[in-house]
Amino acid sequence: MGEDGLISEILRRLPPPSRKNIHRWCCEFGAWDGVYLSNTARLIKEENYHAVLIEPDKKRLKDLKVNFPQESVIKIASFVHPEGATSIDSILSETPIPTDFDFLSIDIDGMDYYILQSLKKFRPKLISIEFNPTIPNSVFFVQDKNPKIKQGASASAIWDLANSKDYTVIAATEINLFLLDDKYLDSFLADLEPIEVLIPKGNDPQIIFSGYDGTILSNKSNVKLGWHGEFPLSRFQILPRYLRKFSGDYNSAEQKLFIVFFLLKRGQLIDFIINETKKRIRALFL
């Protein structure tokens, strides 16, 4: 079962819409053309969901309007941020979508954690949110709150945040967690699994460490950089080979070379040379 099937099955088990809100609703931002890698296209096309689709790129938004011309799909040109007028709460407040709408897809390759954290007024029944699959289950990591950074968050960090907001992780794919509002858990209790079972790859982490001689070591032969591929560990060595020794074994020449290397790496070599030159000049006049 792919993500479309998983989403549909979870939503199928939820209570039908109330008389007040007779339609099922979904929302996705970073929606592209509404079709490419979409978690909501099938719900709209095959299950008659009403939707709010948010896309900042003008060309993609134009394609989105062509693919979904119907009035039941609200198209909005905007970025989404954790605070202010472009927060998801603020944007959705300008639409008829109910506060307890059915499905929200969060996938912005970085600030996903903070968008989930920012949800206060709106409380979707089901949320799909991307996590960084290269981070082990045991690691709690959240990138800095900066939209220019694209590092993401670990599954365990999002898991903890979900629990603090009374959501439970009920399913996971290779890169997405599915969070369900706890008030609907009764239909899913038999299916709940711990993080170690839902994300088995996270139990075999890539660990980076160092030897006494400054050599960068790992439990893996190659270092995985997620979407950028794999690279041999030799590419990640900080010290040049001639300085990869226990520091207590350096001879005098190697000690001086290490100082030069250290200052070069820290961008302080020029300052060091200038200061040393000033000392020597002063010494000549003493």
Provide the CA 46 distance to its chain's centre, in angstroms: 29
Task: Provide Rg for the chain, Cα atoms.
Answer: 26
Report residue 53: phi and psi, to 5°.
Answer: -115, 125
Tell me the residue length of the chain. 286
DSSP-assigned beta bridge partners for residue 172: 177
What is the pTM (predicted TM-score) of this model?
Answer: 0.83
**Domains recognised in the chain with CATH numbers:** 3-203 (3.40.50.150), 208-284 (no CATH)
**pLDDT string in tens for the chain (286-residue length):** 479 999 999 999 998 877 777 899 999 998 899 999 899 999 999 999 999 999 999 999 999 999 999 999 999 999 999 999 999 999 999 999 999 999 999 998 899 999 999 999 999 999 999 999 989 999 999 999 999 999 999 999 999 999 999 999 999 999 999 999 999 999 888 789 999 999 998 998 888 999 999 999 999 888 888 888 889 998 889 899 999 999 899 999 999 998 888 888 777 656 666 677 777 777 777 6
Distance CA 23, CA 20 (A): 9
- The identity of residue 11, as a single letter, is L
